[in-house]
Amino acid sequence: MSKVARSEKQKERNARFAKAVAYAKQVMADPAKKQEFAQRTPKGKSVFRQALKEFLAA
């Protein structure tokens, strides 16, 4: 880790991304949600990535 302190905006973005990762993990753990996301996921992309994308776009 760098000794350079993060700005407030960087801290907010990191926290938001951490929430997105937690959400994507929940989607992957629930078979029904995973299937729902799989239907919206473009060919060649992962369900995890699609869940991240949708969370961050909201």
Residue 58 lies in a domain: yes
Residue-number span of the structural domain to which 35 is assigned: 31-58
Q: What pLDDT sits at residue 1?
A: 64
With vertex at residue 14, the alpha carbon angle to CA 8 and CA 18, rounded to the nearest 5 degrees, is: 145
Residue 42 lies in a domain: yes
Q: How far apart are CA 23 and CA 50, in angstroms?
A: 11
Residue 37 lies in a domain: yes
Residue 45 lies in a domain: yes
Residue 4 lies in a domain: no
pTM recorded for the entire structure: 0.86
pLDDT in tens, 1-57: 689 999 999 999 999 999 999 999 999 999 999 999 999 999 999 999 999 999 999
Residue 35 lies in a domain: yes
Q: What pLDDT sits at residue 48?
A: 97
Residue 51 lies in a domain: yes
Q: What pLDDT sits at residue 40?
A: 94
